[in-house]
Amino acid sequence: MGGKRVLTAVVLIPLVYAIVKYSNPALFLLVVVAIVLIGQYEFYKFHFRDFNRFTLLGLFSGFILLLTFGSGISLQTREAVLGAIIFITFSGFLFLKKSLEGALTGISVVVFGVLYISWTLGHLVSLRLLANGENLIFFVLIVTWGVDTGAYYTGKLIGRHKLSPNISPGKTIEGAVGGVVACVGAGFLARWLFLKGLTINSTILIGLVLGIISQLGDLSESLLKRSAGFKDSGSIIPGHGGMLDRVDSLIFTVPAFYYFIIYFQPEVISIYL
């Protein structure tokens, strides 16, 4: 497992760097759309198992929502789009579902998939559109991957006490602590490489907060797939499972980092304007 993870990272890291650094906003949006919709499709398989019209409805809704992140529209307009998505989902089940059985669960799954994956990861596009957006994305990717790497190898080396055995048997308390410590360290590395305007106190705070919520994001995805009887969300990425398995930590860290920068450290943006 470890060897495959390392080999995959060696291949993916330069590719991700090139996409973030050199792609124009439209191409970057398309890449995010592809990643998100693959992850969303994997999520819908937890419930629907096979691709069907309701899966398509959810993917279409996620696609429309992602476009709002790339268009620079206001938050209020995006909220209106979310309202329309809920209305369309209800309408779809009213006219496309032949029986009442499972309608409540199906509607909830479709809408939650849009919110859980498309809404959260759409903030990658919002980050990219900010001044210094490329470096902001590099920062959040480095600290999030730092958590994953620190938790994984710390758990392998010294992990003894299970963190949540019913949800993720391989995770340990020692690994979780190692992940938070690694996140703070990765935060200082990312600050030195890409975001020198970030204060030291903010770097420590971001490291601690993202180190915790990143692992909560990982556990949350494990909760969803385990409850549905899946070990991995898919097999598209060697050593990591599915797309959703790879981006599950980003689901929480990306919006958290975006709003932290916007509301608590806007000078990181303004110095590049």
pLDDT confidence of residue 131: 87
Q: How many CB atoms lie within 10 A of CB 46?
A: 18
Give tens-digit pLDDT for 105-114.
999 999 999 9
Q: What is the DSSP string of 62-81?
A: HHHHHHHHHTT--HHHHHHH
Q: Region 115-128: what's the mean pLDDT?
A: 95
User: Reduced to 3 states, what is the DSSP secondary structure of residue 162?
Assistant: strand
pLDDT surpassing 70 at residue 164:
yes
Summarize pLDDT for 31-88 with one digit per residue, the tens: 999 999 999 999 999 999 888 899 999 999 999 999 999 877 777 888 899 999 999 9
- Decide if 111 contacts 82 (C-beta within 8 A): no
Question: Using one digit for the tens of pLDDT, what is the confidence trace for 220-235?
Answer: 999 999 999 888 787 7
What is the structure's pLDDT at 249?
Answer: 92
Q: Is the pLDDT of residue 273 over 50?
A: no
The per-residue pLDDT for 230 is 87
SS3 content of the chain, % helix, strand, coil (to 5): 75, 5, 20
Query: What span, in angstroms and rounded, lies between the C-alpha atoms of 213 and 210?
Result: 5
Q: How many CB atoms lie within 10 A of CB 94?
A: 10
Greater model confidence, 73 or 123: 123
Q: Are strands 168-172 and 162-164 parallel, antiparallel or unpaired?
A: antiparallel
pLDDT tens by residue, 8-33: 777 788 999 999 999 999 999 999 99
CA distances from 256 to 25, 35, 206, 262, 264 (A): 22, 19, 9, 10, 11
